Chain A
Amino acid sequence: MRIYALAVYLFLYIPIAIIALFSFNAGKAATQFTGFSVQWYGKALSNRFVVEAFQNSLTVALSSALLATLFGTLAALALQSVTGKWRAVFDALIYIAVMVPGIVIGIATLIALVTVFNWLNPILAALWPLAETAPQLQLGYGSLIAAHGLFSLALVIIIVRARISGMDRSLIEASADLGATPFGTFVQVTLPQIFPAILAGFLLAVTFSFDDFIIAFFVAGSKTTLPIYIFSSIRRGVTPEVNAIGSMVLTLSLTLLITAQAILQRGRKSDKA
């Protein structure tokens, strides 16, 4: 049994380890390790296209995560007072949003946005008061942030709500009993209690958006995010440069995920006081 388990783990992690290893390859070959070097990291970071794709990814990840965290937290708080049938409906919709395959979200979002844009653009052009031509609504930052934000919204709601329902209700009552207004209670008790979950939700949302390829591929328009760049450059062959970029993305994602997990763990521990 142990051998099988070991085989499964090797199958999962050896390719990742090989990518990390070959990112330090001195030579240009993707299959032959000829010596240790960090030159590909330097090459990747000085590549204009890589840097631009990285900036795009970061912009989209941070904006979509910020929006998702804000609205997700508000939604999780509001859903507290929703009970019974409606609660079940909302719960189902939230879980479905997380479980729907990325490719479906990608295609659906693309079709929806293009249809809406085709509708709105002529109207916008007709109403535009200035002499020059009206701006066209098109795929790009906006559609990326919206698509990622909506997906992350469900993630944040699930994480924050788990924390809210794990929270001792009597803390809220104690705060009211001691004379705090409902808003005062929210700021002084609820927010500090759920803050770890909010932060963890934000980090997970950043990670998801930063790593996402499928949804981004459909709705990015002319913008190139880092995963899209890697995909397109792989078509020209796997170079150690791609390995280096992959390793950096991996490191960043792992750091964010581990941080999020640590924050959630600590939040849980201080509860048991």
Chain B
Amino acid sequence: MKSNPTEADLPIAELRKASKHFGGVVAADDLDLTIRRGEFLSFLGPSGCGKTTALRMLAGFETPSHGDVLLDGKRVNDLPPHRRPVNMVFQHYALFPHLTVADNIAYGLRQLRPKLPAADIAKAVDHTLETVRLPGFGKRRIWEMSGGQQQRVALARAIINQPKLLLLDEPMAALDKKLRRDMQIELQSLQRSLGITFVLVTHDQEEALSMSDRICIMRSGRIVQVGSPRDLYDRPKNRYVADFVGKSNFFSGTVDSVSSTTCRISTATGQMFSGISTQSLTAGQAATASLRPEQISLTRQSGHGVKVRIVALIFLGEHTEYLVRHDTLGDFLVLVPRQSEASEGRFDLGADAYATWADGAALILADD
């Protein structure tokens, strides 16, 4: 029913300068965020960064101390959770142990007034069980289900209500690695087919990168950067984001010169790095050069790059990850793809090599 194009462009949810204080603790500080209709958005950050508080403000479990929460253009600060068209998949699923799988899933529909006919509810439950690939499991008790199955039940219990927002609070934390991978793929395809806006909270960067349309990176109650996984990887706003999204090597120094296209810094021991900067910097300012491990290559030919010694290596199949040591730069990671190993040969532990990178390959980041 997207008759009105302007309505479809309207964000499904918004946080406007939303803050939450618990006593003297600021759990969420001035959050400004627009959630687009139909997108998969992740809150990413370490524990205690405020991502769960942000989610709980959307669900209605927390009322913002300042600022507003909007759903579909309407301010919902004072709307209790049971009256919000939003559903949540809880971290430990919070399935009702005294109800069967089918009764758990039907719970939301049974709360509707006027009451839905029982036959309609049963039909919807069967259909949803099929959607989460658990057909015929309706009569089971919750404790008869495995962890992965319980997660699907929790998902079914939420999506059957066709919420405007589906909130997922670290839903994969309790699953083993293999199951988590499968579930990530499934969750993503489910989101596409249902067209429901998903908001995920996670501390697992891989999870956020692999599933999200956009990621909101948080630290100590504040939003640091919002962008697509690719944006965050290629153009991290600061060292914190670069460190959180993917692996990177950091070399700190001071800014030598800034031009319209590149920025040049030198470390205390005189090493130079240059590249584009993601924030405006001025000469003399402290800054950090970030080089991704895959941007550095190793060679045996002297005269190239800096001389290093191999101190550790991890074979990853497609790539080999080397930890190398330089006299003044310290330890850093180099990712060598299989093909270049074919030409250069393998590097052994303790061997000397030369690490090189293209001039201008680094990202020059402000420390904050």
The one of B82, B96, B112, B158 in contact with A176, judged by C-beta atoms closer than 8 angstroms, is: B82
Indicate with 1 or 0, residue by residue over A182-201, a CB within 8 angstroms of chain B CB atoms. Answer: 10110011001100000000
Using A170-B94, A270-B143 as known contacts, say yes or no to A176 and B87 having CB atoms under 8 A apart: no
Contact A178 B98 (CB under 8 A): no
- B61 and A179 form a contact (CB under 8 A): no
Contact bitstring A164-190, B, C-beta under 8 A = 1, else 0:
000010110111111111101100110
* A170 to B107 Cα, complex, angstroms: 15
Partner pick for B107 among A175, A192, A193, CB 8 A cutoff? A175
- The smallest C-beta distance from B147 to any residue of chain A, in angstroms, reads 11
B92 within 8 A of A: yes
Residues of B contacting A188 in the complex (Cβ-Cβ under 8 angstroms): 107
- Asked if residues B97 and A174 are in contact (CB atoms below 8 Å), the reply is no
Q: Is the CB of A173 within 8 A of B94?
A: yes
Chain B nearest CB: distance from A222 CB in Å? 47
Q: Mark B71-98, 1 if CB is under 8 A from A, else 0.
A: 0000000001111001110111011111
Q: Does B108 contact A (CB under 8 A)?
A: yes
- In the complex, are the beta carbons of B94 and A168 less than 8 A apart? yes
Tell whether, in the assembled complex, residue A171 and residue B96 are in contact, meaning their CB atoms are under 8 Å apart.
yes
Within the assembled complex, what's the spacing in Å between the Cα atoms of A173 and B157? 14
* CB–CB A272/B143 < 8 A: yes
- Choose from A171, A176, A270, A273 the contact partner of B80 (Cβ within 8 Å): A176
**Which residue of A has the minimal Cβ distance to B61?**
A173
| B141 at interface, CB cutoff 8 A | yes
A177 B92 Cβ-Cβ under 8 A: no
A244-273 vs B, CB cutoff 8 Å, 1 = contact: the mask equals 000000000000000000000000001111
Q: How far is the CB of B90 from chain A (nearest CB, A)?
A: 5
Cβ of A133 to closest chain B Cβ, rounded Å: 56
Enumerate chain A residues within 8 angstroms of B82, measured Cβ to Cβ. Answer: 176-182, 184-185
A176 & B97 in contact (Cβ 8 Å cutoff): no
Enumerate chain A residues within 8 angstroms of B88, measured Cβ to Cβ.
173-174, 177
Q: How far is the CA of A273 from the CA of B141 in the complex (A)?
A: 9
A189, closest chain B residue (CB): B96
Find chain B residues with CB under 8 A from A185 CB: 82
Chain A residue at smallest Cβ distance from B86: A177
Determine which of B83, B90, B95, B158 lies in contact with A173 in the assembled complex, contact meaning CB atoms within 8 Å: B90
Interfacial chain A residues near B97, Cβ < 8 Å: 193, 270-271, 273
Taking a contact as CB atoms under 8 Å apart, the answer to whether A179 and B98 are in contact is no
What chain B residues lie within 8 Å of A176 (beta carbons)? 60-61, 80-82
B161 at the A interface (CB under 8 A): yes
Interface residues of B in 141-163 (CB under 8 A from A): 141-143, 157-158, 161
> Which chain A positions have C-beta within 8 A of B92?
168, 170
Interface centre among A176, A178, A181, A272 (most CB of B within 10 A): A178
The reply to whether the CB of B31 lies closer than 8 angstroms to some CB of chain A is no
Q: Is the CB of A273 within 8 A of B94?
A: no
Given A177-B81, A270-B143: A170 and B96 interface contact (C-beta under 8 Å): no
How far apart are A189's CB and chain B's nearest CB, in angstroms? 6
Q: Given A189-B96, A270-B98, are A174 and B80 neighbors across the interface (CB < 8 Å)?
A: no
Interface of chain B residues 87 through 124 with chain A (CB within 8 A):
87-88, 90-92, 94-98, 107-108, 111-112
Distance in angstroms from A171 CB to nearest chain B CB is 5
Interface of A with B (CB < 8 Å)?
168, 170-171, 173-182, 184-185, 188-189, 192-193, 270-273
Interface residues of B (CB under 8 A from A): 59-61, 80-83, 86-88, 90-92, 94-98, 107-108, 111-112, 141-143, 157-158, 161
14 inter-chain pairs at a CB distance below 8 angstroms, sorted by A residue, are A170-B90, A174-B95, A175-B107, A176-B60, A177-B60, A177-B88, A178-B158, A179-B82, A179-B111, A193-B97, A272-B143, A273-B95, A273-B142, A273-B143
Known: A170-B92, A173-B90, A176-B80. 12 other contacts (CB 8 A): A170-B94, A171-B94, A174-B88, A176-B82, A178-B108, A179-B82, A179-B161, A180-B82, A182-B82, A188-B107, A270-B97, A270-B98
